[in-house]
Amino acid sequence: MIRLEVGNCIIEIVQGDITEQEVDAIVNAANEKLIPGGGVDGAIHRKGGPAILEELRAKYTHCFTGEAVVTGAGNLKAKYVIHAVGPIYRDGKSGEADLLSKAYKSALTKAFEMNLKSIAFPALSTGAYGYPIKEAAEIALKSILEFLKENQKPELVRMVLFLEEHYKIFAEVLENLKTNL
């Protein structure tokens, strides 16, 4: 685990399963139609049970790329799921970086508005959406740092990477950001 203190907040990078995180909210890598898919999204819906999808259907019909919506967490250890929609990677020149940053900040804003103390993120847009992992790590961590410097909440932001390779890349990016603070 790698940690960085930002004022009263902590950013952690861990390798593990996001569905097992004991935090106030976990972030789901959702799609615009809010239909369960594969990867993180599928794992959250499978482990969380049907209550998550039922609440999504009752409250929302759509979520734009870069935005986020909130539901309860069903059978998960977390209290809430924040469904954030990251961009599909095309060429890196089609506004993807801004949309990815906005997705992280939208999820953090929801957590802030709900006065949540802890949140866990996957690496948004890096699975089926094809975002290169190193670029995604830089955008994710810079976005989180910017948000925490302005808001000082949530107190804990954890990046949960399933693959060891992704963990190492996020850890390296965070170490590089530490030296530039």
Catalytically annotated residues? 41
Backbone angles phi, psi at 72, to 5 degrees: -65, 175
At 54, the amino acid letter reads E
Tell me the C-alpha distance between 174 and 158, whole Å: 12
Place of tokens 């948000």: 147
154 upstream amide cis, omega within 30 of 0: yes
CA 111 to the chain's CA centroid? 11
Tell me the C-alpha distance between 51 and 32, whole Å: 19
